[in-house]
Amino acid sequence: MKFYQKELNLKPKNRGFHLITEEVLAVISEIKNISIGQLHVFIKHTSASLTINENADATVRKDFESHFNHLVPESMPYFIHTYEGLDDMPAHIKNSLLGCSIQIPITNGSLNLGVWQGIYLCEHRNSGGSRSLVLTAFGK
């Protein structure tokens, strides 16, 4: 069994859903050494998240952002945790809904994603700053 682990520091991105598949692959090229295994991606933040979804049509990412803003609106009168702004607590809730990690099968040295699938960084803050991901690839 082979194990590889790298950290990816993403440049700050605007609030929204961003494809980062190519950035991930550029950092952990050791995937090519694995014939069968997994890639685990973990985000070290509580106000951004990760998911896998449509990689071709950018309107999907815009619709995700619109829907999540409708689902978890800012300025709710019962939010107490607003020290860093009105987007603070909603960002934490969105993180919990989507999650802080994903797993993707590795087959014959490549991510075994569907034709229309890509890895998203879901930035839930207006000014979230840079984001750090831990990438762990393992297998035979």
Structural domain spans, the chain:
2-74+81-139
**Which DSSP string corresponds to the chain?**
-EEEEEEEEEPP--SEEEE-HHHHHHH-GGGGG-SEEEEEEEE--SSEEEEEEESS-HHHHHHHHHHHHHHS-S--TT----TT-TTHHHHHHHHHHH-SEEEEEEETTEE---TTEEEEEEE-STT---EEEEEEEEE-
Q: Percent of the chain at pLDDT above 90?
A: 99
- The per-residue pLDDT for 46 is 97
pLDDT range class, residue 74, cuts 50, 70, 90: very high
d(CA 96, CA 48): 9
Per residue in 1-51, pLDDT tens? 999 999 999 999 999 999 999 999 999 999 999 999 999 999 999 999 999
- The per-residue pLDDT for 90 is 98
Per residue in 93-130, pLDDT tens? 999 999 999 999 999 999 999 999 999 999 999 999 99
- The per-residue pLDDT for 15 is 97
User: Would the CA dihedral through 30, 31, 37, 41 be positive or negative?
Assistant: positive
d(CA 96, CA 56): 26
Average pLDDT over residues 56-73: 97
- If one looks up domain 2-74+81-139 in CATH, what number appears? 2.60.120.460
- The per-residue pLDDT for 21 is 98
